[in-house]
Chain A
Amino acid sequence: MTDGPLIVQSDKTLLLEVDHDQAEACRRAIAPFAELERAPEHVHTYRLTPLGLWNARAAGHDAEQVVSALLEYSRYPVPHALLVDVAETMSRFGRLQLVSHPVHGLVLHAVDRAVLEEVLRSRRTAGLVGERLDDTDVVVHPSERGHLKQVLLKLGWPAEDLAGYVDGEAHPIDLDTSSWSLRPYQQQAVDGFWHGGSGVVVLPCGAGKTLVGAGAMARSGTTTLILVTNTVSARQWRDELVKRTTLTEDEIGEYSGARKEIRPVTIATYQVLTTKRKGVYTHLELLDARDWGLVVYDEVHLLPAPIFRMTADLQARRRLGLTATLVREDGREDEVFSLIGPKRFDAPWKDIEAQGYIAPADCVEVRLTLPDRDRMLYATAEPEEKYRLAATAAGKNRVVEQLVAKHEGDPTLIIGQYLDQLEELGEHLDAPVLTGATTVTERQRLYDAFRAGEITKLVVSKVANFSIDLPEASVAIQVSGSFGSRQEEAQRLGRLLRPKGDGRTAHFYTVVARDTVDQEFAAHRQRFLAEQGYAYTIVDAEDLVTDPNG
């Protein structure tokens, strides 16, 4: 029995005691293959999953390394069955390889003949493979490369894609590093991605994922297709690329609902790609419009299902996924793995925060006791009405007012879901309201004003969740949200976590109505944030008045 920092549970969770001397070394050793599940203050929980182990295999780690890392740092003897399972799972990756054959083109090559027999017998592979060349090789139609990888992963035999990539149309792109340079972790992310060929880079919101994208583009030096969540995000990408690279405005096209430009670097929204007319995706030709050398997916965790299907046909091009979290609310993590690629780089929020690149955050839940009248109303409301009643409780306005007053002068976002509540708050606080109905121009204008410090308060609806860049927002007050989704939480926190000029702590307030479903949803939030390692406190709205410092 050693005195290591790690406890390996037989249910495949790994518990890492962070205050231990060897904790950092241990974290480094297990990070390549274990998924960090939660990172509260004392003990971080990692989990061993098949995807995690295969990610590690794809990154060149073998089972022996995994086993020895577990044995080295484990405090107690490691469950034998778990070690066997790790070795068994990892050995499944790469028994099948997709390779480029000089004569037959794309070929599925088996290192283990029995595995090939097994997968070929499965009904799922029918139609995806062609002629059997010999015992160990079978021809794969290039268009089925992605589908086959998906199917093989589902069958538990993930294929290693060694078939390489088309070079794509060359287009010189360089980083303009006269006034800035890639941070070390960004450089590592670019290197990790390029070395692996395709895959996903996981970085917290505010850690500069766009720059990792720009770095990858510069390394590729080819035409690039960038897929982003919405138009605002597209414009921000464009601005950032113009600012940080040698690319000029003319070289960057926007392919959205409003404009259909195809240029050497084209930024398209998910929405336009998934638009269907008469049951047909009308903008698919974009994918073949140029000989793209690189496809960048922003916010991979939000990638809509049809894009996966389209991506299945893009397997010959290099693909870079950028995301803050591999967790998908719909559980399609395996498709990200098989279609975009394994995780190539990952850095936990706390580490980057510790390096000073993102602001520390302080999360406070303010519990508001509803007046008796409202409680009665709530108690007798229809179940589907309850959340709305609780979320839009009138008392919240007063709490928000107090919070705003407390952070007077700091750039503050007030985030909510219900439009009338937002309108009311806007009036109450005398702050502009930004919703889905706000025009793009107006939106840009408000953002610019906010950025410039002309306005310090902005009331926003959930449009703010995605890819808007508000560099100096240091306070966020959430009054209602969509049922405690983890993703939404990450996004909202991300708004705040952009590096602050003066290293101030960011504040994230959630105002909830006590003893209602609102509070139940807040419990999810609390769990998520605490699991991410943020200081989380709960205060009563009444105390907020009496204790101005609390």
Chain B
Amino acid sequence: MATFSEHLRARSDPELVDLLARRPDLANPSPSTIASLAARAGSRVSLERALTGVDASVLQVLESVVALGGDHAGGAVPAADVARAVGATGDGTARTGVEDAVTEATALALLWGDDAGLHPSPGLADVLGPYPAGLGPVVDDVPDDLAPLLAEAPPAARSVLDALTWGPPVGRRPAADAVEARRAVEWLLTRGLLARADTAHVVLPRRVGLALRDGRTHAHPETHCPHPTGTVHPETTVEAESAGAAQEIVRLVAALVHLWERTPPNVLRSGGLGVRELRRAAGALETDEGLAALVVEVAGAAGFVVDDGEDPPAFSPTVDVDAWWDTDLAARWAVLAGAWLATPRTPWVVGGRDERGELRAALDPELARPWAPRLRRAVLEILAAREPGTALTADDVLTVLRWRAPRSVPPPAAVEAILREAGHLGVLGAGALSRAGRALLEPDAGDAAAAMAAALPEPVDDVLLQGDLTGIVPGRPTPALAALLDRATRVESRGAALTVRFTAQSVEEALDSGQSADELLAELAAHARGPLPQPLEYLVRDTARRHGRLRVGSAGGYVRVEDPTLLAGLVEDPALAELGLVRLAPTVLAAQVGPAALLAALRARGLAPAAERPDGQVVLARPLVRRVPGRGRRRRGAIAGAGGPAEAPVTTTAATQRLRSLVPALRRAEALQQSGAAPGAPGAAGTPDPVAALATLREAVADGREVWLEIVGPDGAPQRRRVRPVRVDGGRVRAVDSARDAELTVAVHRIAAVTPIDPEDAPS
């Protein structure tokens, strides 16, 4: 009898080349011999991979051969048996389908044939699992003549058999109190129609299963790809909806970029976009969060927003956006649609939770799946294979995908999401592939933009302005009109037409952008059909009247007087030019410099200015009286608050006095340290630098060594103590004074110097 490797060896060179091309993993790395090729082809990993790519008809044949093989001598199954077993009787298309499937499976070296019939490749049975086609194991003591036995099975037993017939062939044994069911199972067990799988389960032997299935391994032949009909929409509807969606997605991406160029959102530590930021984007785009996530991801896939790598990192628009915006609408769309089609991102999972229960964030690098672009293309190609205008549901598409690769069915949620996204992208219109979408699937996708341009309605350059302050563009506005309305109105409704409303705020924004009321009205009149409505004209003029009545500027300080004559000449005075004085009112000057500089300069000029507080109270020049917190009572944050008189330079006598007395104390401490007069530390220089001191202390803690610690006492007098630091924490040092056998805690700011002591110097 031939073997698998012999069969392979017997293949012609072109056949082997074809096999290696179909199963590239067999060729990498190059196998040394045919025997090793055969071994590799029979390995689990390779078989799994090959099975992932086969369609339902091939899989059915493989299952059938494996299932029937158990009953055939030497495992060979005649091809005719396989055809009958899968239900492809007669000479119809089903039969041809089975033959094709066998050819395919043989070419893939999943089956091989000889005179006896078809053999499964080694290892295939294992990969297909214990119950191929839902049939149970081959059991020896099954009675030969099953038909009469099955015919006399009591109804209860029969229903057990029925439940197991089409698999799975394993059933749980009934509980002890289910007397009747138990009896039925016993009846079947004693006659060999069921076998014990383990103590709790029974299994239907393969031969019994086949007998119950009337010799079939499959109920229906799946020799041909299912062909769901779907719904056919008129082409105009498909094209119009595709064009509408295309305009919308381009608008949304542009709006997102516009939002983020002013306020870029921070990048989460995980690399994604925070849920709050997504919500903000959704709010600004007036979409739900799902669509906002798609917009964000499409913008990311197109390279329009990236992590800018700044500190802290934020998602910022790239320069590519400007180039994109310079192209026409159809070209803009083509960029987005192309980016979407090719991206490995999976926007639909945003907002869900991952296996650790954490929220999946948009733009999170984790959300890339290599299969996503393949699945998108596969889904769209299924639609492309239909008559133009055909819309398929996710279930329809899944039916086809399931037939094409039953061992690797994509998650239904992904297929649904892809159809939904394609609708948002305008690749689909009314659920059917649009012409532009079809062009996108072509190898170069070059015509996609042209196809979309053809689908887009003619732009309209006029707007109907009405007395209720609304305007309606009965179609797609031209870029110029769109820009005007974008500037001066709020959009009320989008779609085939654009409805906008003029409000005082929207007109204000147009005025903010630098247009005057007359310019705005002229521009509106140029686009308006008929005269401008009186209320609109009034609104624009009235808004312009109020616009900019309040003026805002920046100043460092100000000068104000009761008597305007005092200010006369100050603005022009060359000596004061550096102050940047501007006359705001007859009695008020604004200055670019702060109050301190103003005071100094005005004093130098011989004027007698006084500083005033925000409430207008004069800050008196009388001496400030300082107090420090008394002993025993600590006050947190006792430092005077920012601003206010406390920050003024110290000029009072009392304070100066205190400083004067402090200085000698500091000098004494320093001298002590310099002279090294303290006993036990000859020549060892202390560490007055606080950072170094702390480092020395920490080292000492780590090594358990002693140090000389010079401390400034509460009276300002220095002390010197030999201690073993135990802990440095929270601005304090805890140390053990071994000589006095006492523990002391010292605030870091009291430490004047730290001098390490070599262990050898330890006093006896």
Residues of A within 8 A of B (CB): 1, 7-11, 13, 15, 17, 38, 40-43, 45, 75-81, 515, 526-527, 530-531, 535-538
Contacts and interface: CB of A to CB of B under 8 A. Distances in A.
A43 B472 contact: yes
A75 B496 CA distance: 9
B145 interface: no
7 contacts: A1-B236, A17-B474, A42-B529, A43-B470, A81-B430, A515-B546, A526-B468
B464 to A, nearest CB: 4
Contact of B466 (A10, A13, A42, A79): A42
B688 interface: no
Nearest to B538: A538
Given A42-B465, A535-B467, 15 more contacts: A1-B236, A1-B457, A7-B496, A9-B495, A9-B496, A9-B497, A10-B244, A13-B493, A13-B499, A15-B472, A41-B467, A43-B474, A77-B239, A80-B431, A530-B467
Contacts of B474: 7, 15, 17, 43, 75
A76 B467 contact: no
B587 to A, nearest CB: 20
Contact of A531 (B430, B468, B494, B538): B468
A42 B535 contact: no
A10 B535 contact: no
A512 to B, nearest CB: 12
B190 interface: no
A8 B496 CA distance: 7
A380 to B, nearest CB: 17
Nearest to B466: A40
A38 B496 contact: no
Contacts of A77: 234, 236-237, 239-241, 496
Contacts of B530: 42
B583 interface: no
Nearest to A84: B430
A464 to B, nearest CB: 26
Interface of B: 233-234, 236-237, 239-241, 244, 430-431, 457, 464-470, 472, 474-475, 493-497, 499, 529-530, 533-535, 538, 546
B534 A537 contact: yes
Contact of B464 (A9, A43, A537): A43
A538 B236 CA distance: 45
A40 B468 contact: yes
B469 A530 contact: yes
B693 to A, nearest CB: 61
Given A17-B474, A42-B472, A538-B538, A80 B467 contact: no
B534 A9 contact: no
A80 B244 CA distance: 12
Contact of A7 (B430, B467, B495): B495
Contact of B493 (A9, A40, A530, A531): A9
Contacts of B233: 80
Query: Which 3 pairs between the two chains have the least Cβ-Cβ distance?
Result: A530-B468, A9-B495, A77-B240
Given A10-B244, A538-B535, A538-B538, A76 B468 contact: no
B466 to A, nearest CB: 4
A531 B499 CA distance: 14
B466 A76 contact: no
A76 B496 contact: yes
A79 B241 contact: yes
Nearest to B468: A530
A15 B431 CA distance: 25
B52 to A, nearest CB: 36
B285 to A, nearest CB: 15
Most chain A Cβ neighbours within 10 Å, of B465, B475, B495: B495
B472 A530 contact: no
Contacts of B496: 7-9, 75-77
Contacts of A40: 466-468, 470
A7 B474 CA distance: 7
Nearest to A526: B535
Nearest to B457: A76
A284 B580 CA distance: 81
B464 A42 contact: yes
Among A40, A41, A77, A515, residue most surrounded by chain B Cβ atoms (within 10 Å): A77
A1 B493 CA distance: 21
A15 B493 CA distance: 10
B351 to A, nearest CB: 23
A114 B390 CA distance: 30
B167 to A, nearest CB: 32
Contacts of B470: 38, 40, 43
A530 B499 contact: no
Contacts of B472: 15, 42-43
A78 B497 CA distance: 12
A38 B499 CA distance: 13
A40 B468 CA distance: 6
Contacts of A527: 468-469
B161 to A, nearest CB: 35
Nearest to A78: B237
A41 B466 contact: yes
Nearest to B496: A76
A75 B466 CA distance: 20
Contacts of A8: 495-496
A78 B237 CA distance: 7
A490 to B, nearest CB: 15
A422 B564 CA distance: 48
A45 B497 CA distance: 12
Nearest to A2: B236
A527 B493 CA distance: 17
Contacts of A43: 464, 466, 470, 472, 474
A45 B469 contact: no
Contacts of A78: 237
Contacts of B240: 76-77
B496 to A, nearest CB: 4
Contacts of A526: 468-469, 535
Contacts of A17: 464, 474
A80 B499 contact: no
Contact of B499 (A1, A15, A76, A538): A15
B493 A80 contact: no
A13 B497 CA distance: 10
B468 A10 contact: no
A118 B237 CA distance: 35
Given A11-B493, A17-B474, A76-B496, A530 B457 contact: no
A118 to B, nearest CB: 23
Contacts of B468: 38, 40, 526-527, 530-531, 536
A458 B493 CA distance: 44
A80 B430 contact: yes
A75 B464 CA distance: 16
Contacts of B497: 7, 9, 15, 76
A15 B473 CA distance: 10
A79 B495 contact: yes
B2 to A, nearest CB: 60
B274 to A, nearest CB: 30
A461 B359 CA distance: 60
